[in-house]
Amino acid sequence: MGFPCVTIDLKKIEHNTKQLVKWCSDRQIEVMAVTKGICGLEKVARTFIKGGAKKLGDSRIENIIALKQAGIPVPIYLLRIPMLSEVEDVVRWADGSLNSEVEVIKALSAAAKDFDKEHKVILMVDLGDLREGVLPENVLDTVSEIINLPNIDFEGIGTNLGCYGAVKASYDNMKSLVDLAKEIEKTFGIKVKTVSGGNSSTLMLLKEGVLPKGITQFRLGEGIILGNDPSTSKPLPDTYQDAIVLKTEVIEVKIKPSYPIGEIGLDAFGNKPVFEDKGPMRRAIVALGKQDCRIEGLIPVDKSIDILGASSDHLLLDVTKSNNIKVGSIIEFNLSYGALISLMASKYVKKYII
Ligand SMILES: *Cc1c(COP(=O)(O)O)cnc(C)c1O
């Protein structure tokens, strides 16, 4: 095994998927498993499917192309609204996409016509998080334009909350989405097949029994991979939080002062650091840095270890309370979603499936 590395436990991911698929299927909600957090790794994608996910979603077309080329059998959707410059790949490889710009959907329509394919479109509605989506008052006008486009299958509407604005999913915003779907059905006499209620931060509404009827789909990444509710950062009931773990190797252990010696200027990232003088401290350095990982999202498995900070290539730990740590020791961390996505995308971090 080389370090730093992440180990990916497929059994635990399968358990998490089955668990959340069960919550959802009890309420007739389908799960679109989101593969972006694991950079579209095929084996993990297959585990999501084994666990009961009916569809996959990813925000990067590169991951979707790799999954399709690997022969993944379920529909795959592009989650990030497409760039105009990628519509041909989107139509060629993805079965559908989330969208918010009529101009882009027109380009998808033209490309789909060229490829003689049908492309499914879920129109995103912005219910206050202020990331992607048309505002509720513009939904009907937008739908009227989409439904007449050739080679476009208007599949339904969706929303994304808890990302930019950190707006929590609630009975009220979910009900607005369901009501909009009903209005579309009434106005145009069409069936809105999919009402995509959101991401892992919507799950607890379901668990607490306050999700309105009419939501048909959840798009789940963090919940199935890390068993975490992003809106509260609390574990989801009956799931594993350690399906993916980071392992790092110690390259130095020394007793040093806790307060730097000399005049303090700016650190390697242009910040002026503040230090507390705690006297001499047993400090370990592991070979991992900000270039590999969002350090704030690391949680040492050994609770006696504290993270002091990091530069591009060095992570500094206070190991005063763990006498057994020496050069060559392996130190493990649990991960936040932010840490996970950065580690998965780093070419310096090895990935092992177990
Ligand atoms: C990433 C993403 C998701 C998945 O979010 P999680 O919080 O990881 O469940 C869902 N929808 C969209 C549009 C996304 O970009």
* Structure confidence at residue 205 (pLDDT): 94
* Structure confidence at residue 158 (pLDDT): 98
* Structure confidence at residue 43 (pLDDT): 98
Atom of ligand 1 nearest to the CA of 34: 4
For helices 102-115 and 139-146, angle between their N-to-C axes, nearest 10 degrees: 20
Write down the catalytic residue from 12, 36, 120, 290: 36
Task: State the CB neighbour count (10 A cutoff) for residue 150.
Answer: 9
Task: State the CB neighbour count (10 A cutoff) for residue 83.
Answer: 12
**C-alpha to C-alpha distances, 280 to 254, 255, 285, 310, nearest whole angstrom:** 10, 6, 16, 19
| Residue of minimum CA distance from atom 12 in ligand 1 | 79
* Structure confidence at residue 170 (pLDDT): 94
What's this model's pTM, rounded to 2 decimal places? Answer: 0.95
Mean of all residue pLDDT scores within the chain: 96
Report, as an integer, the average pLDDT of 15-36.
97
* Structure confidence at residue 323 (pLDDT): 87
Q: Is the CB of residue 197 below 6 angstroms from any atom belonging to ligand 1?
A: no
Instruction: Verify whether residue 36 is a known catalytic residue.
Output: yes
Strand pairing report for 217-220 and 298-300: unpaired
Report, as an integer, the average pLDDT of 275-299.
95
Task: State the CB neighbour count (10 A cutoff) for residue 207.
Answer: 13
More confidently predicted of 264 and 76: 76
For helices 42-50 and 10-25, angle between their N-to-C axes, nearest 10 degrees: 40
- pLDDT score of 198 more than 90: no
* Structure confidence at residue 165 (pLDDT): 86
* Structure confidence at residue 269 (pLDDT): 85
Q: Whole-angstrom Cα distance, residue 123 to residue 142? A: 9
Q: Whole-angstrom Cα distance, residue 283 to residue 104? A: 53
Report, as an integer, the average pLDDT of 48-76.
98
Give burial (CB, 10 Å; 0-12/13-18/19+) of 170.
middle
- φ, ψ dihedrals at 10, nearest 5°: -65, -30
More confidently predicted of 135 and 266: 135
Q: Is the CB of residue 79 below 6 angstroms from any atom belonging to ligand 1?
A: yes
